Amino acid sequence: MKTKEMTELNLRPVRWDDVQAVAKLMHLSSVADGDAETAETPEDVEHNWRSPGFNPETDAFVVENSEKEVVGYWEVFDGDEHAKLHFDGYIHEEYENTPVGDMLFKQAEKRALEHIPLAPADRRVFVHSAMNMKDKYFQSLHEKYGYAPVRYFWRMEIKLESAPQVLPLPDGIEFRPFIQEEHARLVWEADNEAFRDHWGSHDSKYEEWHQRKLERPEYDPTLWLIAWDGDQIAGFSQNRYLNEIGWVGTLGVRCPWRKKGLALALLTHSFAEFYKRGIKTVGLGVDAANPTGATRLYEKAGMSVANEYVVYEKELRAGKSE
């Protein structure tokens, strides 16, 4: 893609009236990477800007050109007590190899450094930034600033040509409707427990989990599958519908119920629910080195890799990892 000739560029904090422009840029970037299914809607952008602890006026920035078009966006998100920070950036492909990338990156790093004195004194402080493996420009931009790849993730997908075969739940396990008022905190606790042994995971606060899961625009409790063993949640599949495909948003099984076939049952029942609603394409994201063998499970269920991502990391302060 031809790079735009140099025009006047302006870096500034985002404003709430930038939501539509930022969402449009995210969509264009996702399409350029062949990954339109993951693009955020304007409603998603606004929802994310309202996340606890995130202030878009200090934690996010745009670059606009002389026509006041948003051609770059970057946000810095505090993932855990100011010690685990996340970058999420987008640059219009016609403005790659222009000063836009450097303008945004320098501002994001400046903001990230402001978190260091707020983090616990003994904690290691670092930044993670994920990107599509096809985006060689973004990878080179991160490497220029001292970031290195540390982990790889896949977006997997299945096309349901016919009604999927549903596998039975293990003995003693049953599905019950998700009643938010009664079950939300129990699912939150199970979610934290199920992912404690996953790379980069940490227990989320209930308020954070509630905002991220139950307040998102596409939240539909009738798509959530909760597997119960008596009064205990054994596993769950927090599903949603976005960008015209079904998403297995978070599938987890608590340790005592692993290796019993529950995860595959949850997955196939999720497929069946989407198919029943006329949704034939289903996707999910997974750590390529998942310690529970999730990638093999998903392949066994007929899913294949649709796109690959890499997480880059840079340490800002040495210390104890959690």
pLDDT tens column, 1-19: 445 555 799 999 999 999 9
**Domains 10-153+310-317 and 162-279 equal at CATH topology level:** yes
**pLDDT tens per residue, range 148-186:** 999 999 999 999 999 999 999 999 999 999 999 999 999
pLDDT at 219: 95
> Tokens for 53?
């602890």
Instruction: Say if CB 209 and CB 215 are below 8 A apart.
Output: no
pLDDT above 80 for 322 = no
Domain 10-153+310-317 listed as CATH 3.40.630.30 = yes
Least confident residue range of 101-110, 113-122, 196-205, 271-280 = 196-205
Answer yes or no: are the C-beta atoms of 49 and 1 closer than 8 Å: no
Give me 226's structure tokens: 């909760």
Q: Please give the pLDDT value at position 2.
A: 46
Per-chain mean pLDDT for the chain:
94
* 3-state secondary structure labels for all residues of the chain: CCCCCCCCCEEEECCHHHHHHHHHHHHHHHHHCCCHHHCCCHHHHHHHHCCCCCCHHHHEEEEECCCCCEEEEEEEEEEECCCEEEEEEEECHHHCCCHHHHHHHHHHHHHHHCCHHHCCCCECEEEEEEEECCCHHHHHHHHHCCCEEEEEEEEEEEECCCCCCCCCCCCCCEEECCCHHHHHHHHHHHHHHHCCCCCCCCCCCHHHHHHHHHCCCCCCHHHCEEEEECCEEEEEEEEEEECCEEEEEEEEECHHHCCCCHHHHHHHHHHHHHHHCCCCEEEEEEECCCCCCHHHHHHHCCCEEEEEEEEEEEEEECCECC
Query: Using 50, 70 and 90 to split pLDDT, how confident is the model at 293?
Result: confident
CB 282 within 8 A of CB 270: yes
Superfamily of domain 162-279: Gcn5-related N-acetyltransferase (GNAT) (3.40.630.30)
Q: What is the pTM of this model?
A: 0.91
Domain ranges of the chain: 10-153+310-317, 162-279
Per residue in 189-215, pLDDT (tens digit) is 999 999 988 777 778 999 999 999 999
Mean pLDDT across the stretch 206-232?
Answer: 96
